[in-house]
């Protein structure tokens, strides 16, 4: 068998490129080291399209021969890593026997099957190791204008395509198409990452706008192409595209509240994506942000996900992932001791009442609760109070008996809270969770801005963690729907 020598400086970062084509459930990847015994070897691949579903088989025993059994439902490129080096392996439903001769500055690779495909893949990523590394472009983003960054991306895309076309005859059509798509979506995902990554690295609240000219040929027609879901660059494109569109809907301003941001992303995903791609991305948003949401909201979003998901696989994976990776609590010790894992209004926190006693949301079970989180020092909060009064007065008398307008203040002390109630002529039920931004209510519900509104139904379940403000006319119809339930 002809042996080709590939000299390369390989990165140890994780790179897995997937394609949609299905492969059989299990393969054997045998690896033999010649004239070299590594301290450890790790084989890394993805079992499904969520990047968190990485399967790692690490062997610490010093030996020269390895046999990795893999289970995967799609073609992809996996990694075989060992000290100071990495080999890329094209998984396409075939068993592999790989020979590696390790020299001082180079690796000699031999493949019994698909040698030309396998050697091209290693050549390609040796030349373009940054193709799908998400952090690779960050230094260029932070130190260049959007025009400079796009020119660099365009030049990189051109060079990648030139290499692919020059060696097209060496590889099969399936691998060619998969590399071609990866190059295309790498360009777009990186371009859309520019304003997001630059904003995340800045203390400024503004998000840059990409010139319309640069987005003229953006492949909108491929946004719901489920056959592309196994391409990491395509799913990364979805992430940045939806994030960019959510910033656009917020007048290119950063969101100051994770819950608001997540719900905006989910709403835009529903509008812009379809069927399985929408289901996939809904789950990806939950994976990315559940750590920043209160547990009841996460449970509600999971319930919604189960109903809309066009593929049970996505829901099961996301649900199991969240269960296996619980949120690290940042509440006070008091909250941690009392916490429950339900989604009802039986929250693990209590509130101070005007009568000097402790109260909970549970005491309103059987009624709809419209919650208003506020503080005396919050101007926008005070501006909404007259609308709350008008909203309540718009209800019929029999409806008023089935709803509670609950105002929860986060003012630092009791005196300030009670004085603000009197000054603003507040009606309805009044609770207090003292401490300003350190209050138990803020920590439990992970509130980053006020006013903030939530709705609890008659059963005691939170049905909206980002309810409309009382000034919005649609709110009345929503409350009446819940009252009738």
Give the pLDDT band (50/70/90) at residue 36.
confident
Residue 342 lies in a domain: no
Q: Are residues 138 and 70 in the same domain?
A: no
pLDDT in tens, 246-265: 999 999 999 888 888 999 99
Residue 19 lies in a domain: yes
Q: Are residues 233 and 268 in the same domain?
A: no
Q: Are residues 144 and 120 in the same domain?
A: no
Give the pLDDT band (50/70/90) at residue 2.
very low
Q: Which of 62, 97, 127 is the last residue of a domain?
A: 127
Determine what percent of the chain is predicted with pLDDT higher than 70.
84
Determine what percent of the chain is predicted with pLDDT higher than 90.
45
Q: What is the domain extent for residue 148? A: 130-254
Does the pLDDT at position 162 exceed 80? Answer: yes
Question: According to the model, what pLDDT value does residue 50 have?
Answer: 63
Does the pLDDT at position 343 exceed 70? Answer: no
Q: Are residues 15 and 89 in the same domain?
A: yes
Question: According to the model, what pLDDT value does residue 151 have?
Answer: 92
Give the pLDDT band (50/70/90) at residue 135.
very low
Does the pLDDT at position 370 exceed 90? Answer: yes
Q: Are residues 368 and 430 in the same domain?
A: yes
Q: Are residues 423 and 316 in the same domain?
A: no
pLDDT: which is higher, 347 or 321: 321
Q: Model-level pTM greater than 0.85?
A: no
Does the pLDDT at position 372 exceed 90? Answer: yes
Give the HSE-up count for residue 238: Cα atoms under 13 Å, Cβ half-sphere: 32
Question: According to the model, what pLDDT value does residue 423 have?
Answer: 92
Question: According to the model, what pLDDT value does residue 328 have?
Answer: 66
pLDDT in tens, 221-232: 999 998 888 788
Q: Are residues 363 and 448 in the same domain?
A: yes
CATH of the domain at 443: 3.40.30.10
Q: Are residues 99 and 138 in the same domain?
A: no
Number of folded domains that form the chain: 4
Q: Are residues 466 and 360 in the same domain?
A: yes
Averaged over 158-173, what is the pLDDT? Answer: 94
- Which segment of 45-59, 98-112, 364-378 scores lowest on mean pLDDT? 45-59
Averaged over 380-391, what is the pLDDT? Answer: 93
pLDDT: which is higher, 27 or 243: 243
pLDDT in tens, 67-91: 888 776 677 778 888 887 888 888 8
Q: Are residues 289 and 226 in the same domain?
A: no
Q: Are residues 365 and 439 in the same domain?
A: yes
Question: According to the model, what pLDDT value does residue 60 have?
Answer: 60
Q: Which of 230, 254, 278 is the last residue of a domain?
A: 254
Q: Which of 210, 239, 254 is the last residue of a domain?
A: 254
């Amino acid at each position: 068998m002809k042996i080709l020598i590939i000299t390369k400086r390989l990165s140890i970062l994780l790179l897995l490129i997937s394609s949609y084509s299905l492969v059989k459930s299990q393969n054997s990847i045998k690896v033999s080291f010649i004239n070299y015994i590594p301290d450890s070897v790790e084989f890394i691949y993805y079992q499904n399209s969520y990047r968190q579903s990485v399967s790692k088989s690490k062997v610490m025993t010093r030996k020269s021969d390895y046999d990795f059994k893999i289970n995967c439902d799609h073609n992809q490129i996996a990694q075989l890593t060992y000290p100071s080096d990495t080999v890329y392996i094209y998984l396409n439903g075939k068993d592999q026997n790989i020979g590696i001769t390790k020299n001082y500055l180079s690796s000699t690779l031999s493949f019994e099957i698909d040698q030309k495909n396998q050697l091209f893949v290693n050549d390609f990523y040796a030349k373009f190791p940054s193709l799908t590394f998400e952090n690779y472009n960050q230094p260029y983003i932070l130190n260049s204008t959007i025009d400079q960054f796009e020119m660099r991306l365009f030049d990189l895309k051109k060079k990648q395509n030139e290499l692919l076309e020059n060696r097209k005859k060496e590889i099969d059509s399936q691998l060619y198409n998969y590399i071609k798509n990866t190059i295309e979506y790498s360009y777009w995902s990186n371009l859309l990452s520019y304003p997001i990554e630059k904003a995340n690295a800045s203390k400024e609240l503004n998000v840059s706008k990409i010139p319309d000219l640069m987005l003229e040929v953006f492949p909108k027609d491929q946004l719901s192409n489920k056959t592309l879901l196994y391409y990491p660059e395509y799913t990364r494109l979805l992430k940045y595209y939806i994030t960019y569109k959510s910033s656009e809907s917020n007048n290119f301003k950063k969101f100051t509240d994770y819950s608001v941001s997540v719900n905006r992303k989910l709403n835009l995903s529903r509008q812009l994506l379809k069927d399985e791609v929408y289901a996939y991305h809904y789950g990806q948003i939950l994976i990315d942000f559940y750590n920043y949401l209160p547990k009841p909201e996460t449970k509600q979003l999971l319930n919604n996900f189960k109903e809309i998901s066009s593929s049970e696989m996505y829901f099961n994976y996301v649900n199991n992932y969240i269960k296996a990776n619980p949120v690290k609590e940042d509440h006070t010790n008091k909250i941690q001791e009392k916490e429950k894992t339900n989604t009802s209004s039986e929250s693990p926190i209590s509130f101070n009442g005007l009568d000097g006693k402790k109260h909970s949301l549970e005491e309103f079970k059987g009624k709809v609760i419209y919650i208003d989180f506020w503080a005396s020092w919050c101007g926008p909060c005070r501006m909404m109070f007259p609308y709350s009064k008008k909203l309540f007065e718009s209800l019929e008398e029999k409806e008023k008996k089935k709803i509670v307008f609950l105002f929860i203040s986060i003012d630092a002390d009791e005196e300030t809270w009670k004085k603000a109630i009197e000054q603003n002529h507040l009606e309805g039920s009044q609770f207090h969770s003292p401490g300003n931004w350190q209050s138990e209510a803020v920590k439990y519900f992970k509130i980053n801005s006020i006013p903030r509104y939530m709705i609890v139904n008659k059963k005691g379940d939170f049905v909206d963690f980002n309810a409309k403000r009382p000034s919005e006319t649609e709110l009345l119809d929503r409350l009446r729907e819940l009252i009738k339930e």
